[in-house]
Amino acid sequence: MVRRRAFLAGLAALSGLAGCGASAAADTGSAVAPDRPSCADGFRIVDRVERIERGTVPEVEFRLHNGGDTTVGYTLRVGFEQATSTGLREPSGRDVLVGTVGPGATVTITATTDGAERTSTTDYTLAVTLSCPESADV
């Protein structure tokens, strides 16, 4: 079983991490979207554990931390993929995780899929959208 563990020190580690409506693959390393909501300044993905092995259902566990003073809403879109014999990547499932992280709180969430090709998964992509509660926008 492939078990990778990554500690993410900053927002730039995942592209689009704090972007309002921004999205990109987890391994691109590009800069954080400039239009991120103000409440998201303290939001971080502080840990992730990937359990991806052919023949089993994939799981990616994310640990989210909000070091800010306001609750942050999140939507994580995880797209699971499989490498084909031709070298192309094809979808093997997806998961959408939606929730909130309160001020100073840390939560752990797990993405998985029930897609028809789930046991052929070899990789995943991640897109994150953050939002502020309406009271924080006033």
pLDDT per residue as tens digits for the range 113-133: 988 889 999 999 999 999 987
Q: What is the pLDDT of residues 65-113, one digit of tens each?
A: 999 999 999 999 999 999 988 888 999 999 999 999 999 999 999 999 9
Residue 62: domain span: 39-130
22 falls within a domain: no
Q: Give how far Cα 9 sits from Cα of 25, 64, 82, 113, 132, Å.
A: 17, 12, 28, 27, 22
Q: Is residue 57 part of a domain?
A: yes
Inside any domain, residue 18: no
The model's confidence at residue 34, banded by pLDDT at 50, 70 and 90, is low
- CA pair distance 128, 110, nearest whole angstrom: 14
In a domain, residue 28? The reply is no
Q: How many domains does the chain have?
A: 1
- Whether this prediction's pTM lies above 0.75 is answered by no
**Would 45 be classed as within a structural domain?**
yes
pLDDT at 135: 53
Residue 33 banded pLDDT, cuts 50, 70, 90: low
Q: For residue 67, what is the domain's CATH number? A: 2.60.40.3230
